[in-house]
Amino acid sequence: MIDTHCHIDLHDRPLDAISKFTSRQMECVSVTMLPSHYKLSLPHLEAYDNIHASLGLHPLRAREGKRELAQFIQLAKAAEYIGEIGLDFSRDGKSTRALQEEMFAEVLPSLKGGKFVSVHSRESAKKLLEMLSEARVAPVCFHYFTGAPSLAQEVIQAGHYMSFNLRMLTGRHKSLLSQVPAERVLIESDAPFLTESPHLAVANAYSTVAKHWGITLPEAEGLISRNFLRCRTARDITC
Ligand SMILES: [Zn+2]
């Protein structure tokens, strides 16, 4: 099983979270908020093949992030996993909307080249999709998507994926799973925001989607693993 969006570095006991993933043979994309956080996490994670350090520049940290933008672009050359990046136009993020858009535009060229990219799109999915399409960046994974069903269709038509957490599968957004083809579904914990036990939340989410699709758990694991391998941005043919 694979957790495609987990903030390991924000856990009270990051090493505990890692050992629980490792003992259960689970993989995890360890997203970060800032390039400096990513850099700090690298020496801790390099011993684990199943934990993927992911280079982030979170939209709600845009003011600090601006000072680290050059570092992001430099580190992105070697990073295979990018996130958490994106836009946030909710009440929490709207004061930096212009800055977020400006920074995301600068980040876009760094996303190509076979990378796994996890994006935050709270109240901003329309604009985010537009910017990705203009820059011809696809596919990426929309994490915790909460937009309208029509927008979900646009995301899927543009070739992107969506990562579902347990709250999305059981709460008011649960109808979304029926609107997304199984071959575009990934699973995330969004820990520690949604849960203190990402390994349990992810296992539970896998069982929930398997049941929804009417397949066995091993079949769901195989399907989602193949999705994870396919969800890599296209390599630029011109370079
Ligand atoms: Zn997150």
Query: What are the pLDDT digits (tens) for 86-98?
Result: 999 999 999 999 9
**Ligand 1 center–CA 144 separation, angstroms:** 8
Please tell me the pTM assigned to this model: 0.96
Q: Where are the alpha helices (DSSP H) in the chain?
A: 14-23, 35-45, 62-66, 69-76, 97-107, 125-134, 149-157, 166-170, 176-179, 198-213, 217-230
Q: pLDDT of 159-200, one tens digit each?
A: 999 999 999 999 888 899 999 999 999 999 999 999 999 999
| Domains of the chain and any CATH numbers | 2-230 (3.20.20.140)
Whole-number pLDDT of residue 236: 64
Whole-number pLDDT of residue 239: 43
**Ligand 1 center–CA 237 separation, angstroms:** 31
Alpha-carbon span 2 to 224, nearest angstrom? 8
Please give the DSSP secondary-structure letter assigned to residue 55: B
Which residues in the chain show pLDDT less than 70? 236-239
**Ligand 1 center–CA 193 separation, angstroms:** 8
**Ligand 1 center–CA 238 separation, angstroms:** 33
Closest by CA position to 192, among listed 68, 23, 16: 16
**Ligand 1 center–CA 5 separation, angstroms:** 6
**Ligand 1 center–CA 122 separation, angstroms:** 11
Whole-number pLDDT of residue 237: 52
**Ligand 1 center–CA 6 separation, angstroms:** 7
